[in-house]
Amino acid sequence: MRSFFAKFKFLGIVLLIVSAVIVSLFYNALQPKEILPVYQPAMVNFELVDSTLQHVKKYHTIADFALTNQNGKLVTQKDYENKIYIADFFFTTCPTICPIMTKNMAGIQDKILNDDDVMLLSHSVTPDIDSVPQLKKYAMEKGVKDSKWNLVTGDKRQIYELARKSYMAVKTDGDAGPYDMIHTENFILVDKERRIRGFYDGTNTEEMEQLLRDLKILKSSYEE
Q: Residues comprising the binding site for Cu cation?
A: 94, 98, 183
Using an 8 Å Cβ cutoff, are 148 and 119 in contact? yes
Binding-site residues from annotation: 94, 98, 183
DSSP string, 6-51: HHHHHHHHHHHHHHHHHHHHHHHHHSPPP------GGGS-GGGS-T
How far is residue 122's CA from residue 185's CA, in Å, rounded to a whole number?
12
Sheet holding 118-124, edge to edge: 149-152, 118-124, 84-90, 186-190, 196-201
| CA atoms 149, 42, 184, 161: torsion sign | positive
Q: Can you tell me the distance from the alpha carbon of 180 to that of 38, in angstroms, rounded to the nearest whole number?
A: 28
Cβ neighbours for 157, distance < 8 A, ≥ 6 positions apart:
179
Kind and range of the H or E element at 191? Answer: none
